[in-house]
Amino acid sequence: MDDGAPRRHERRRCRDSRPDVLPAADCENLRIFRLGTLTAGESAEVRADLAGVPVVWRLTGGPALMPSPGPQPLPTQAPTSTPPPITGSPDTPVTGTPDPRPGVPVVATGTFGGSFALRYFDVAVGELQVDPDGTAWGAHVSVCYVAPHRDANAEGTTRTSLDPWAWFVQDGEGGGPGEWVAASETPTTTQWGPAYAEKALQVGECNDGWVTAAFGNPDLFLPKLRYQPADFGDSIEWTVRR
């Protein structure tokens, strides 16, 4: 245990002391003091009398020896920003507005007051109307020719008519399953008009009017209207709101 007191090392007096040789083994008693630590630039002298020979040691502090550092990690490379991926197929332009037209026939169900975008037409049906007696039914419809098809007429027109339209007729009292009846075969009414009629359309034109049914029987219930053109495979049903 070190208490800071000077340490004394016992040596015997030298038998044969020479001024130019420091005694090594047989020397007289020496006092050795701890000098502490010298920093860079500091100096100190140590004086001793060895068998009548004065000896001076001059000590100079140097830079501290630092322990060798262990293996250093390689510098990490700053992450680079990644460009956003390009979406879409190679045949699809990345910019611009995609064509909203479906590529296949549409089979769907909606409620009165809704519209559908088909491959060649936009079709809309207004709210279902019923007369006060419950004997006549009607709905305003609109068919717009928006994309040309290969079966168009030579002058580029296409025919629209009442043929694709049909009512679903149920017996309200009997609660039967009901059946589809072509709108072109049902008795009509003039309570709402003008009536939807046959018309040839160029691309960008519309045909609109009222599709009506007047069976004169208050027990009949007509909750659905269907658009189903024979040449295109589409089938859209509009039903009453529940």
Tens-place pLDDT, residues 105-122? 999 999 999 999 999 999
* Residue 172 scores a pLDDT above 50: yes
Q: Does residue 77 form part of some domain?
A: no
Q: How far apart are CA 240 and CA 242, in angstroms?
A: 6
| Number of domains forming the structure of the chain | 2
Q: Where is average pLDDT lowest: 33-37, 145-149, 207-211?
A: 33-37
- Verify that 55 and 111 share a domain, yes or no: no
Taking residues 50-63, report their average pLDDT. 63
Q: Are 130 and 209 in contact (CB under 8 A)?
A: no
Q: What is the pLDDT of residues 33-46, one digit of tens each?
A: 455 565 666 666 66
Looking at the fold, whether 128 and 224 belong to one and the same domain comes out as yes
**pTM beyond 0.85:** no
Identify the residue with better confidence: 8 or 148. 148
The band of 213, judged by pLDDT with boundaries at 50, 70 and 90, is very high
Same domain? For 139 and 33 the reply is: no
Task: Say if 41 falls within a structural domain.
Answer: yes
Q: What is the CATH number of the domain that holds 219?
A: 2.60.40.1240
Residue 138 sits in the same domain as residue 227: yes
Q: Is residue 1 part of a domain?
A: no
Q: How confident is the model at residue 176 (pLDDT cuts 50, 70, 90)?
A: confident
Regarding whether 157 and 48 lie in a shared domain, the answer is no
Q: How many whole angstroms separate alpha carbon 24 and alpha carbon 63?
A: 30
Distance CA 234, CA 147 (A): 15
Alpha-carbon distance 208 to 197, whole Å?
8
Q: Is residue 99 part of a domain?
A: no
Residues 119-140: tens digit of each pLDDT: 999 999 999 999 999 999 999 9
3-state helix, strand, coil in the chain (%, to 5): 0, 35, 60
Mean pLDDT calculated for residue range 63-70: 50
CB atoms inside a 10 Å sphere around CB 121: 26
Residues 56, 132, single domain; the answer is no
Helix (H) or strand (E) segment spanning residue 21 = none
Residue 47 lies in a domain: yes
Residue 168 lies in a domain: yes
Residues 42 and 122 reside in one and the same domain: no
Within this chain, do residues 45 and 139 fall inside the same structural domain, yes or no?
A: no
**pLDDT over 60 (residue 64):** no
Q: Quick check: is 157 in a domain?
A: yes
Range of the domain at 173: 107-239
20 plus 118 within the same structural domain: no
> Is 100 part of a structural domain of the chain?
no
Residue 179: both structure tokens together: 């059946």
- Residues 37 and 152 reside in one and the same domain: no
Cβ count near 172 (within 10 Å): 16
What does the alpha-carbon distance between residue 158 and residue 152 come to, in Å, rounded to a whole number?
A: 5
Residues 216 and 126 in one domain: yes
Which residue, 187, 208, 213, 206, is CA-closest to 197? 208
Looking at 60, 78, 95, which one is the last position of a domain? 60
The answer, yes or no, to whether residue 95 has pLDDT greater than 90, is: no
**How far apart (Å, rounded) are the C-alpha atoms in residues 108 and 238?**
9
